[in-house]
Amino acid sequence: MKFTKLHGAGNDFILVESNDLNRDWSGLAQKMCDRHFGIGADGLLVLLPSKVADFKMREFNTDGSEAEACGNGIRCLLKYIIETKPAKAAAPEISVETMAGVRKFRPQRSGGKATKLQVGMGTPRFDAREIPVDIDPAKAARVKSMLNYFITVGGKELLLNFVSMGNPHAVYFWQKPVAEFPLSQVGPEVEHHRIFPRRTNFEVARVIDRNQIEVRVWERGVGETLACGTGSCAVAVAAQLNGYVDSPVKIKLPGGILDVDWDRKGEVLLGGPAEIVFTGEWQD
């Protein structure tokens, strides 16, 4: 099986093309993504044919769970399409079917090459039932936004902002440098907190100024990653709604910088780099 290794701001993926809709991709992801006995990656991207878009993408985390949405993964997929499918790459827009809906890409070119990849990540959602967050049904019906909600983690209260970007996110704004936050201890507890029936991604963020936020991410089913596209979108959205930043805003992650633009009405636009690292063949 031929594969391509890519990364978007350090968030790395293995990509394979296939027509097999019934394969055990979950089991394969666990093997291929293993950093000691496999190729090593944060996730496996499967490029499939689609009846409703130009392509279909499925993304599997290192633990085999399937993600509804993946911003860096989609940009890496677009990079692959641009490099290997010139007929499709010439189009002004490329559409990809995901579990969270159809996403559309707008590659920005310079000198005939795609230098920055921007993708529409859909409209953020804040309803407890859509995120989903498991709170009292009567309360869920009254609560229209899950911003600034306290949960108890490790005996301490955290004021979190819940946002769905097609997948669940819990954003925590901190006043200290994010490098000092005990993410490896707190991240798993937030991910598996009883309030999240499908678990959650967790972001700790510090607002630097009106145009910059530094972020670290604990990804559901993966652990800490160098970057997260949907997580960056969730942080930018929560920061805007809290009045902390303007738009667009730069999200500074350990692996690089992503750009997020949102008009508070429509879909969130995510921009940033994507690179092919190497290609190879997996002994299937």
Q: What CATH number is attached to the domain comprising 229? A: 3.10.310.10
Q: What is the pLDDT of residue 146?
A: 82
Residue 126 lies in a domain: no
Q: Are residues 90 and 185 in the same domain?
A: no
Q: Are residues 262 and 141 in the same domain?
A: yes
Q: Are residues 258 and 153 in the same domain?
A: yes
Q: Are residues 141 and 262 in the same domain?
A: yes
Q: Are residues 91 and 141 in the same domain?
A: no
Q: Are residues 18 and 75 in the same domain?
A: yes
200-238 pLDDT per residue, tens: 999 999 999 999 999 999 999 999 999 999 999 999 999
Q: Are residues 177 and 103 in the same domain?
A: no
114-163 pLDDT per residue, tens: 666 889 999 999 988 899 999 866 555 555 568 889 999 988 999 999 99
Q: Are residues 79 and 169 in the same domain?
A: no
**Taking the CA of residue 190 as centre, how many other CA atoms within 13 Å lie in the half-sphere pointing to its CB?**
31
Q: Are residues 154 and 109 in the same domain?
A: no
Q: Are residues 198 and 243 in the same domain?
A: yes
In the chain, how many domains are there?
2
For residues 231 and 17, what is the distance between their CA atoms, to the nearest angstrom?
Answer: 26
3-state secondary structure of 81: helix
Q: What is the pLDDT of residue 62?
A: 97
Q: Are residues 114 and 142 in the same domain?
A: no
Residue 131 lies in a domain: no
Q: What is the pLDDT of residue 224?
A: 98
Residue for token digits 């499925």? Answer: 58
CB-based contacts of 18-27 (< 8 A; 24+ apart in sequence): 18/46, 18/47, 18/48, 19/48, 19/49, 21/48, 25/58, 25/60, 25/66, 26/60, 26/64, 26/65, 26/66, 27/64
Residue 129 lies in a domain: no
Region 240-246: what's the mean pLDDT?
97
Q: Are residues 100 and 11 in the same domain?
A: yes
Give residues with Cβ within 8 angstroms of 205, minimum separation 6.
Answer: 171, 172, 173, 174, 178, 213, 214, 215, 235, 239
**Structural domain containing residue 187:** 137-266
What pTM value is reported for the model?
0.92
Cis status of the peptide bond prior to 177, with omega within 30 of 0:
no
Indicate whether 94 pLDDT > 80.
yes
* Residues known to be catalytic: 70, 228
